[in-house]
Structure 1
Amino acid sequence: MDINDLYEQNYVPYSKKASVAVVRSKNGKWFPGVRIENICYPLSISATQNALFYCLSEGHEPAELFTDEIHATMIPSWEKELGITSNPLEKDELHNITFDNPVLEADLNKIDKLKELLDMAVVGESDFPVSAIVETEQGYFTGVNIECTSWNMGLCAERVAIAKALTFSSKNLISLEIHTRKGEFSSPCGACRQVIKEHLPKKQIHLHHADDSESIHFSEDLLPHSFSSSSLSNR
């Protein structure tokens, strides 16, 4: 997959405007991100946030951002928050970048992996780590919650995992697993439920609780009467 391929991986059924960002980590690895829209527009994930949080969720420190969203109002905030430099995305200059596919194979022990991922969460604000694994036809994609000092800039584990899977061409998301180390009940927030409803309709959501119990729900049951509108185009 290269830069041009990433433009095909966008999920932009509402704006029809694709965006791409790539992040170079301090140890020289590259992480891509594409725009992931939601029918509830404010819940859309920008390509820049997607790429940055993919990098962070894999335990790497971002150093440099290349994005075609360079004039977005949040770019200075990302520079200040993460100590990165940002540059316009020039496809010709970055055409030879290679990206590691983060997909995990089907023989994965999901419970063990979910517990392992909790240590990867960036939770300096809440100290409440959450991990997520989304199953696709390719295999499994992981996510952890990433928090920022400006709370509205953070993203939950569920959305990090979903965005990562969609970036790597996994359009058919099969199921989602969520784990927390603390709390009485492991449950996605309302914003995540809206995103889950769009990308995993009628799919099973497995909630793994801090006491090692599990409950299984369908996405429609997690968010009854969710927002939808035939007035908005969708695939």
Structure 2
Amino acid sequence: MSKTPQEIVELLYQLLERSYSPYSGFAVAAVIKSGSGRLYGGVNVENAAYPLSRCAEQSATLQMVSAGEREIAEVWVLSRGAQPATPCGGCRQVLSEFAHPGVPVHCLSADGPELHTTVGALLPHAFGKQYLQPDQD
């Protein structure tokens, strides 16, 4: 059953409460809609050893891949604050592995502002599989 945008936003708010962000205090939730239409949620999970922390977008993508899916159809991100937080550079690269450049990315702020963009706009000229394939002349 396909969820409406409002239902996805409600899910994002539920997920936001599960964020583990004791160091930054910056909670983030993400929902990935896969090519099959299933939804995968994730939250940021911080660690006292900062490099081991994971972003919400990565958490959601890992859930999708763990379920056996490989195609992102849409991305939703929710954070608290005056500005909508966009995926960080690392998350942009992770998203680009499973999403074509035209996939919509909806960045929402709990305070109201929204940014609607695409994976390609967030990461133009992404490094991808095409660089790892030998030229086929």
TM range (shorter): 0.7 to 0.9
Match of residue 81, structure 2, among 182, 190, 193: 182
Write the distance in 2 (CA, Å) between the matches of 1:230 and 1:171. 17
Structure 2 CA distance for partners of 1:167 and 1:125, relative to 1, 3 Å: same
3-state SS, counterpart of residue 120 of structure 1? coil
In the alignment, structure 1 residue 224 sits paired with structure 2 residue 124: yes
Match of residue 116, structure 1, among 3, 6, 14: 14
What count of residue pairs does the alignment treat as equivalent? 130
AA at the equivalent of 2:2: A
Write the distance in 1 (CA, Å) between the matches of 2:8 and 2:37. 15
Question: Can you give the 5+ residue segments of structure 1 that lack an aligned partner in the other structure?
Answer: 1-104
Partner residue, 1:147? 46
Write the distance in 1 (CA, Å) between the matches of 2:111 and 2:32. 22
Give the root-mean-square deviation of aligned CA atoms.
1.9
Partner residue, 1:171? 70
Write the distance in 2 (CA, Å) between the matches of 1:110 and 1:231. 35
Question: Can you give the 5+ residue segments of structure 2 that lack an aligned partner in the other structure?
Answer: none
Structure 2 CA distance for partners of 1:155 and 1:183, relative to 1, 3 Å: farther
Paired residues of 1:186 and 1:210 also in contact (CA < 8 A) = no
Paired residues of 1:182 and 1:210 also in contact (CA < 8 A) = yes
The alpha-carbon deviation at position 145 of structure 1 amounts to 0.2
Partner residue, 2:32? 134
The alpha-carbon deviation at position 169 of structure 1 amounts to 1.3
Q: Which has the higher contact order (CA 8 A, sep 6+)?
A: 2
Paired residues of 1:138 and 1:170 also in contact (CA < 8 A) = no
Runs of 4+ residues deviating >4 angstroms: none
In the alignment, structure 1 residue 106 sits paired with structure 2 residue 6: no
Structure 2 CA distance for partners of 1:209 and 1:194, relative to 1, 3 Å: same
The alpha-carbon deviation at position 107 of structure 1 amounts to 3.1
The alpha-carbon deviation at position 197 of structure 1 amounts to 1.4
TM-score normalised per structure 2: 0.85
AA at the equivalent of 1:146: V
CA offsets, 1:98-122, max 9 Å, x none?
A: xxxxxxx523601111111111001
3-state SS, counterpart of residue 193 of structure 1? helix
What are the within-5 Å matches in structure 2 for residues 24-35 of structure 1? Answer: none
